[in-house]
Amino acid sequence: MPAASSQPAIDGWFATDDAGATHLIGGKCTQCATYVFPPRENNCPNPACDSDTLDLVPLSRRGKVWSYTENRYLPPAPYPKTDPFEPFAIAAVELAEEGLIVLGKVVTGTLAADLKVGMEMELTTMTLYTDDEGVERTTHAWRIA
């Protein structure tokens, strides 16, 4: 049986380097150096800046839990419908270098009770769902470092 292929659930949000390390892709304002995620190439998010040019840049892979919660209801598409529904943790992680807070799922098996504000986290990927063609759709996720 051939190995399942894997594709991002949303194109352009993360990439894997030659060493196999995953990093998020963000936008960085060319004028004020403000970062944004998800990435975009225009409209600086800093209200004090009128720049309309952002460069796409790799973001740091580690950060600290800024906040977290546990999702106890089935979210809308593109999240898969599971029966029975399994709660999952979501963490807002402040990236170490950029100071940007990025929201994401926490890897399967880690719940809110396992997390603490200030805890070190590392970026990874996980399968979000498998589509009708058998392609595993992946998303960025956080794991305890």
Is 99 found in the same domain as 33?
no
Is 79 found in the same domain as 24?
no
Q: Say yes or no to pLDDT of 126 above 80.
A: yes
Is 128 part of any domain? yes
Q: Say yes or no to pLDDT of 20 above 90.
A: no
Q: How much is the pLDDT for 3?
A: 53
Q: How much is the pLDDT for 33?
A: 96
Per the structure, the count of domains in the chain is 2
- Which one, of 19, 9, 2, 109, lies nearest residue 58 by Cα? 19
Q: How much is the pLDDT for 41?
A: 85
Is 91 found in the same domain as 52?
no
Is 128 found in the same domain as 145?
yes
Question: What phi-psi label fits residue 43: left (phi over 0), alpha (psi between -120 and 50 degrees) or beta?
Answer: left
Q: Say yes or no to pLDDT of 16 above 90.
A: no
Task: In whole angstroms, give the CA distance from residue 76 to residue 81.
Answer: 9
Mean per-residue pLDDT of the chain: 91
Pairing of strands 62-71, 14-16: unpaired
Q: Say yes or no to pLDDT of 53 above 90.
A: yes
Q: Say yes or no to pLDDT of 4 above 60.
A: no
Is 100 found in the same domain as 36?
no
Model pLDDT for residues 66-120, shown as the tens digit of each residue: 999 999 988 887 677 777 888 999 999 999 899 999 999 999 999 999 999 999 9
Task: Supply 64's token pair.
Answer: 């600290």
Q: What is the DSSP string of the chain?
A: -PPPPEEESSTTSEEE-TTS-EEEEEEEETTT--EESS--SSS-S-TT-----EEEEEPPSEEEEEEEEEE-SPPPTTSPP-SS---EEEEEEEETTT--EEEEEEPTT--GGG--TT-EEEEEEEEEEE-TTSPEEEEEEEEE-
Task: In whole angstroms, give the CA distance from residue 68 to residue 56.
Answer: 27
Is 66 found in the same domain as 22?
no
Which range marks the domain in which residue 119 is found? 61-145
Q: How much is the pLDDT for 78?
A: 67
Q: How much is the pLDDT for 1?
A: 42
